[in-house]
Amino acid sequence: MSKNITFFDKFCGQFLVRKPYDKKEQGFRTRNCLSITGFVKEPNIIVLLFFLIGINQVRSQDAEPIVIGEKHILHSNILNEDREYWVGLPESYSNEASSYKRYPMLIVLDGSAHFRPVTGMVNYMSAGYNGNTRIPEMIVVAVQNVNRRRDFTPDKIITKRENDSGGGDSFLSFLEDELIPELDQQYRTEPYRILFGHSLGGLLATHAYMKEETLFNAFIAVDPSFGTWDAETMDKKLEAVTVNSFTRFIYIATANWGKRNIRNRDRHVRLYEALNSKCEGEFPAKLEYFENENHGSVPPIAFYNGISAIFEGYGVYYRDIDSKEQLIQHFQSLSRRLSWDFSPPEYLVNRIGYNLLRSKNESEQSSALAFFILNTENFPDSFNAYDSLGEAYEALGDKENAVSNYKKSLQLHPGNEHARMKIESLNKSE
């Protein structure tokens, strides 16, 4: 079950809801909108009102929703309840040239609060606007709350009144054993997964990071609520941490709590330093304090900094690469830090190749070929990679290899008219 998520417009204090596209009926549905019953005694006002309504109807016929995601519902046998989640796909997901691509997955807790800003930032930081490709494109999945105290607390909280805290591990089992397999089946996912949580959600993210086994590779814990972890509890958890945790990346953000700031900040620092001392070698983590942000305002800036910290070095500038070997080594270093194989992105390698191919230096022109070949090795299902390699061979005067690679591109994507025309043109010129 899915439903489009669209923006809402506010008009005269009431909401106008943009509907999903419908050929028979487009425009707005209104809730509690203006009533004309109070204007019966004023005919001119009634005429004016109907005139304005008519204008609004004309305008609304041209309006289309800006869709930022879809709503889904999955029944959880583990939690014995239906769970709603929202999915935001990368801009390239539906493009023919990217049909071979698989995408990392970002799971967002407290979904309704964070889905819109997070999907916006991920899209802007990865889609190439103004050359901004700091992070890879990814699928964003926001899980909606049912009972956040139950789901986000790993340990039972002892209070005078009964409570249902302590269900964190059950909720993590829902994510890993039910939701993620469902997403892997429905979408082109790469099994590199990031868990983002704020407050109690940050507590759960930290708990998942410290577990022996988890399906997540990186964590963003924003101002995690460690209030239920006294010194003894934290020490026990730290003692149980194994080397598996240090194959993952964790980013922890700390907000300014005013008078209670020292206690909150000390808990975060204590955990970070204890993990750092336990890790042999470089600790793949970052702790950051935000002096000018409080607990409620810190999530957006912390997410931006956190996702940037995880993928530091991913958005390398194409002019800073001097050789294929340098590029490969750069991404090998990134892959070692994140314990996952990240190849140089196809668009980056293509841009380096075309930049060299247009050079007036013959040596640089020849070196371009190695980059285009690298793309076909890393992305053998990309018709665009072979099409670009064909152009490189053609520019260097090697018609035979140019035609060969254009044919490979056409085999992968029979609708590639550029390759078809190039093959016909090169064959005629012989």
Domains of the chain (ranges, CATH numbers): 2-61 (no CATH), 67-310 (3.40.50.1820), 318-428 (1.25.40.10)
Query: Rounded distance, CA 205 to CA 207, Å?
Result: 5
Q: How far is CA 422 from CA 14, 336, 399, in A?
A: 57, 41, 10
Q: What per-residue confidence (pLDDT) applies to 2?
A: 66
pTM over 0.75: yes
- Over residues 177-226, the pLDDT tens digits come to 999 999 999 999 999 999 999 999 999 999 999 999 999 999 999 999 99
pLDDT in tens, the chain (430 residues): 666 765 443 333 333 333 333 333 333 333 333 333 333 344 455 444 444 555 566 555 678 888 899 999 999 999 999 999 999 999 999 998 899 999 999 999 999 999 999 999 999 999 888 888 999 999 999 999 999 999 999 987 776 777 888 899 999 999 999 999 999 999 999 999 999 999 999 999 999 999 999 999 999 999 999 988 888 889 999 999 999 999 999 999 999 988 776 778 899 999 999 999 999 999 999 999 999 999 999 999 999 999 999 999 999 999 999 999 999 999 999 999 999 999 999 999 999 999 999 998 988 999 999 999 999 999 999 999 999 999 999 999 999 999 999 999 999 999 999 999 999 999 987 6
- Over residues 257-299, the pLDDT tens digits come to 887 767 788 999 999 999 999 999 999 999 999 999 999 999 9
